[in-house]
Amino acid sequence: MTPTPADELAAEGIGLDDAYAVDGPDANRELYASWAETYETVFLAEHGYEYHQHVAAAFCDGENELKGPVLDVGCGTGVVGAELARLGVSVIDGIDISPEMLAKAAAKSHDGNPTYRQLFEADLTTAIDLPDAAYAGIVSAGAFTHGHLGPDSITELLRVARPGARCSIGINSAHFEEFGFGDWLAEREAAGHITGLDFELRPMYSDTESDNPDHWTRIAVFTVT
């Protein structure tokens, strides 16, 4: 779908208030269809987005050697994949509900090759059509936030992660508190489904407001057992 100049002008005004006002898959599809064109060039650029760098750094800081593909959850236009590729991760798949955002991710390349091996269009509030134990790593930035994904969506991610998979999942810090992500993940650890659970508090933007929980991410880092 080629945006008209009017679409682009309208999209330039899209920002955090619009992202946090959506609720559920259909509203997300609609929002990101109109935002894809200017998401990186206007929104990320204007705020000095650094969320993707923190998620990728937390993932790559792991001591266990990566032996397989990584799934970027809610990959959007692909900035997390680009950062992972820059840090040396070679096989990256992406999954997202928005075909317009995925089209941007598909255009990304690293060292002359596509950044993403495969891209899947899917609604992560439902079961996803990926096999068990397919991934050696799971990363996510920006998808676990108001009106997007809650803790239950992590259940499917644990299914597609193989034993030993490292996870680095960024969660909007207000959303984290509201939906009890801390307890939810602690219960999975107590049940033996994950291990080494840790949370890294990081700013999302270079212009992050220190007292605004919507400008901070709690990155849940753990290993799937």
Ligand X SMILES: C[S@@+](CC[C@H](N)C(=O)[O-])C[C@H]1O[C@@H](n2cnc3c(N)ncnc32)[C@H](O)[C@@H]1O
Q: Is 174 helix (H, G, I), strand (E, B) or coil?
A: helix
- Specify the stretch interacting with ligand X by CB under 6 A; choose among 84-92, 142-150, 172-180, 191-199: 142-150
Q: How far is the CB of 153 from ligand X (least distance, A)?
A: 7
Q: Is 113 helix (H, G, I), strand (E, B) or coil?
A: strand
Tell me if 28 contacts ligand X by CB under 6 A: yes
Tell me if 200 contacts ligand X by CB under 6 A: no
Tell me if 51 contacts ligand X by CB under 6 A: yes
**Could you give phi then psi for residue 34, rounded to 5 degrees?**
-90, -15
Q: Is 218 helix (H, G, I), strand (E, B) or coil?
A: strand
- N- to C-terminal Cα separation, the chain: 42
Tell me if 52 contacts ligand X by CB under 6 A: yes
- DSSP-assigned letters across all residues of 19-63: HHH--SHHHHHHHHHHHTTTIIIIIIHHHTB-HHHHHHHHHHT-S
Tell me if 171 contacts ligand X by CB under 6 A: no
Residue from 56, 60, 66, 75 that binds ligand X (CB under 6 A)?
Answer: 75
Lay out the site mask for ligand X across 91-130 (x = CB under 6 A, - = otherwise): -----xxx--x---------------------xxx-----
Q: How buried is residue 127: exposed, middle or buried, by Cβ count under 10 Å (0-12/13-18/19+)?
A: exposed
Q: How far is the CB of 225 from ligand X (least distance, A)?
A: 25
Binding positions for ligand X, rule: CB under 6 A: 19, 25, 28, 32, 51-52, 74-76, 79-80, 96-98, 101, 123-125, 141-143, 148-149
